[in-house]
Amino acid sequence: MRFLLPFMLGAALAGCITPPPERNGEQAADKPTQNHERTRERELQSSWRGKTYRDLLEAFGQPRVVMTVPGYRPLRTSVAVFGVRDQASRCIDAFTVVKHGTTGEWIVADYFCR
């Protein structure tokens, strides 16, 4: 029995490391979607960073959810979540917006595909 214990432990660990077969199939099927996600994230990050939140609202409409980011930051930060607007990428569009310290205007800081 003492000699079987290392073998059994090794077999159990090997089983934990290998993903189940259906997960591998999901990953292969999701590759086109992942490419769409990355493309959408790059495009929206470059086109919206630095623009006003007002402009974002004109283009996207009212967000479904606005969340305040807690913590001690020099600029007040929130996240505006708009939901899925692009079916190819299935991204849940979310923008980080910060309140400019001097002007008080909300500015888009970043975009995230979730």
* pTM of the full structure: 0.69
User: How many domains are there within the chain?
Assistant: 1
| In the predicted structure, residue 74 carries a pLDDT above the cut 90 | no
**Geometric angle at alpha carbon 29, from 27 and 33, rounded to 5°:** 95
Give the list of residues 6+ apart from residue 88 with CB closer than 8 angstroms, or none: 33, 36
Can you tell me the distance from the alpha carbon of 94 to that of 113, in angstroms, rounded to the nearest whole number? 6
What tens digit of pLDDT does each residue of 19-64 get?
A: 444 444 445 445 666 888 999 999 999 999 999 999 999 999 999 9
Check residue 30 and give its pLDDT.
52
Neighbours of 92 (CB within 10 A): 14
What range defines the domain where residue 106 resides? 4-113
Can you tell me the distance from the alpha carbon of 73 to that of 105, in angstroms, rounded to the nearest whole number? 16
What tens digit of pLDDT does each residue of 78-114 get?
A: 999 999 998 889 999 999 999 998 899 999 999 999 8
Can you tell me the distance from the alpha carbon of 36 to that of 89, in angstroms, rounded to the nearest whole number? 5
